[in-house]
Every structure is written in C-alpha cells, then in structure tokens.
Amino acid sequence: MPRQSDIADPGQSSHVQGFAPVAAADARILVLGSMPGVASLRQARYYAHPRNAFWPIAAQVLGFDAAADYPARLQALQQAGVALWDVLQACERPGSLDADIRADTLVPNDFAAFLQAHPRLIRICFNGGKAAALFRRHVLPGLPGLALQYVDLPSTSPAHAAASFEKKLAVWREALTPPGCARGD
C-alpha cells in the first residue's frame, strides 16, 4: 500500500499511482479495476468510495461483514482465494472517471511477475469495461498462451448506475465462486 506521503493530493494532481496487489500466494481469482479513484487514493484503500458496491457485494458473496475494518475485509478476500489489483500502475487522470484516463500516460502493472507468483490463478474478473479494455489492449498481448478465464463484470462504481445492486450481485456471485465451490449468502 502507498504511504500517505506518496499521494500528493489526488484531488489536485492528475498523476495517479496505483496500489500494490492484495493477494495470497494461493489466490485463484483476481479482481482487476482500472485505477483507484480519488476517494480510494486519499484513504489508501481499494474501493473506498462509500457508494461503491464492491465491498457489500464481496461480503454477501464470500460471507463476511461488509462493515468490518479494512484489514479484516482484505483478509476475508484472501482467505476466499480472491486477489485485488488494478490494470494500471500509473497514469494521468483528473478526477475519478475512467473516461478521463489519458491514454498516452498509461503504465500497466507487471502481470508477468504477478502470474508467476500466483500459479493457482484460474480467473481474472474485470470490475468494469475500462479495466477489461485496458487489460486486453495493454497487457494481454504481452502474456501469450495463458489458460485463464476472463470475466467482464458490471462496474461496482457509483458512476455505473445502469445495473441495479441486485443485478450486479447476481453476476458477481457467479464470477467470484470458483468452479466446484458453492458459497452461501
């Protein structure tokens, strides 16, 4: 995780730096966003915006308390075999909207090293269309021959209001449940 001093003032600067991955060595599913938004950068936490549906959805699907403190939520994800990261390591983007990411400033994360360190990974889930597009355009061509499942999911961002919480929950439930595993509510 970045130190607070490493985040100049994400509300003022358009240069943004992502977080380190949160992943146990035996992770089976990787959830990828594009780049943390302003609220997340300010708090140095994944999905920190209070209206982002990621934590309520993950809590329902994986069976933990969405109101638990941040370290406990991260631990619950890791125990369930779910890792978190973003496609981009850095970029320029004023504000939080993916549409405002400047294409000429993209720096993807090192997925070759991540995948080598996490050989049990079977599925990559994209939290929103921009994450999927960035990965497929800027990362996947450099990773030939991967036998992974790729799942495009509706964004949990409050900016993506086209799908209801219930619709998002149903799609995310299927994606976060590894084959051969059943999870309750």
pLDDT tens digits for range 24-78:
999 999 999 999 988 999 999 999 999 999 999 999 999 999 999 999 999 999 9
Integer angstrom CA distances of residue 122 from 48, 74, 161: 27, 20, 29
Instruction: Give me the CATH number covering residue 92.
Output: 3.40.470.10
Residue 9: its pLDDT value, please? Answer: 45
Judge contact between 176 and 29, C-beta under 8 A.
yes
In a domain, 8, yes or no: no
**Nearest alpha carbon to residue 34 among 149, 155, 175:** 155
In a domain, 56, yes or no: yes
In a domain, 185, yes or no: no
In a domain, 1, yes or no: no
In a domain, 184, yes or no: no
In a domain, 4, yes or no: no
Say how far apart CA 172 and CA 100 lie, in whole Å: 25
Between these two residues, 185 and 120, which has the higher pLDDT value?
120
In a domain, 147, yes or no: yes
pTM above 0.85, yes or no: yes
**What is the residue range of 136's domain?**
16-176
In a domain, 9, yes or no: no
Integer angstrom CA distances of residue 49 from 12, 103, 164, 174: 18, 24, 17, 24
**Hey, what amino acid is at 181?**
C
Please write the tens of the pLDDT for every residue from 70-102. 999 999 999 999 999 999 999 998 887 777 788
How many domains does one find in the chain? Answer: 1
Lookup: tokens for 86 = 């973003």
Q: Which residues contact 103 (CB under 8 A, 6 or more apart)?
A: none
